[in-house]
Amino acid sequence: MWVEDQTQCHKPLGQLIIMEKARGIFTHLQEQEGEGSTTEMFSAGRGWFNKFIHCSNLHGIRISGEALSADT
């Protein structure tokens, strides 16, 4: 939903922005679980990003300052 909102507002999206947002969401969810929760790790690395783009069927997301070759 966040990606769609950013796109509709014509805000630039890139790999680093999406990865940072994913880390922020993960941290927020961990904080909501409280002290007794397990300490899971989430790095939102390039492998995660590539799977996210593929599973979300997103095209035209900027990777390291370069536009993808797919139509936007």
- In this predicted model, what pLDDT tens digit does every residue of 9-51 receive, in sequence order? 988 888 899 999 999 999 898 888 876 556 678 889 999 998 9
Instruction: Let me know if residue 20 belongs to a domain.
Output: yes
Contact 44, 19 (CB under 8 A): yes
Instruction: Let me know if residue 71 belongs to a domain.
Output: no
Instruction: Let me know if residue 72 belongs to a domain.
Output: no
Residue 14 domain boundaries: 2-56
H helix runs in 1-72, sequence order: 2-8, 15-33, 46-56
Instruction: Let me know if residue 66 belongs to a domain.
Output: no
Q: What is the pLDDT of residue 42?
A: 86
> Whose CA is closest to 18, among 47, 52, 42, 41?
52
Instruction: Let me know if residue 65 belongs to a domain.
Output: no
Instruction: Let me know if residue 62 belongs to a domain.
Output: no
pTM over 0.75, yes/no: no
In the chain, the number of structural domains is 1
Instruction: Let me know if residue 22 belongs to a domain.
Output: yes
Q: What is the pLDDT of residue 67?
A: 47
